[in-house]
Amino acid sequence: MSSALPPLREVIARHGLAARKALGQNFLLDLNLTGRIARAAGPLEGHDVVEVGPGPGGLTRALLDHDARRVIAVERDARCLAALEEIAAAYPGRLTIVEGDALETDLSALATRPARIVANLPYNIATPLLVGWLQTEPWPPWFSSLTLMFQREVAERIVAAPGGKAYGRLAVLAQWRTRPRILFDIDRRAFTPPPAVTSSVVELVPRDAPLADADPRALETVVAAAFGQRRKMLRASLKSLGRDPLAMIEAAGAVPTQRAEELSVEQFCALARAYASGL
């Protein structure tokens, strides 16, 4: 079906779609790579797919070609809508275009289960979008998987193990509720315009139950405090929470002289429980 559509470069030229840095845009035009991402997210048959920041629709085409039941494309750049409408016409009834900011859109209300989220995320909103999805209530969430493109540095922070510099807030929040892994890298030259860094495609599969019990907001608060001053020992970094840090640390089975990067996800959950209990 996509063979009836003009090449992406022609579409971009015809609609004047120069990528805008202010919107975090880098268009992926390589059909081999968009196809690889769609396959990595699969199987898509029988699934709704939510795509954030489709731009001119390179990945959108691939998702439809790989048998997504329906693609819901959320795009805030009105310049891209005409190009997406061309794709919608080529795949009748299978592409829903939503003009709006994904950070302010209830994506769960747009998709019918089973659903997946697949996106070459705009770099400037990638992290807040991911954190929002990780805080979805109730859990397990409405999506069965996340297949997302990030800057390589962000991808490494998502999958990092305790003890290293990359381990921090994103690792704790992601690994608490999902099983994340880096699938493959994409060279910067595959994009128009080329970003300054390599990108990575990351898969996050929701766990049926989190690694340990914790309130999402309490965990976010504790993790932010601990890593906000990551060079300090826990007894100092947790003072900003307005609780007795030593009592919280003891309840978590940690040591006051440890630093945030030394704690496991489960220990952060124990800190969050202690914080929520008012210790």
Could you state, in chain order, the average pLDDT of each consecutive group of 10 residues for the chain (279 residues)? 70 70 69 94 96 93 97 93 94 97 95 96 90 94 97 97 95 98 93 84 97 95 94 94 93 94 96 90
What is the model's pLDDT at position 122? 84
For residue 213, give the DSSP letter.
-
CA–CA dist 22, 17 (Å, integer): 14
Q: What is the pLDDT of residues 106-137, one digit of tens each?
A: 999 999 999 999 999 888 899 999 999 999 99
User: How many CA atoms within 13 Å lie on the side-chain side of 272?
Assistant: 23
Is residue 72 within 8 Å of 50, Cβ to Cβ?
yes
Question: What does pTM read for this prediction?
Answer: 0.92
Is residue 162 within 8 Å of 263, Cβ to Cβ?
yes
Q: What is the pLDDT of residues 69-81, one digit of tens each?
A: 999 999 998 988 9
CA–CA dist 194, 156 (Å, integer): 20
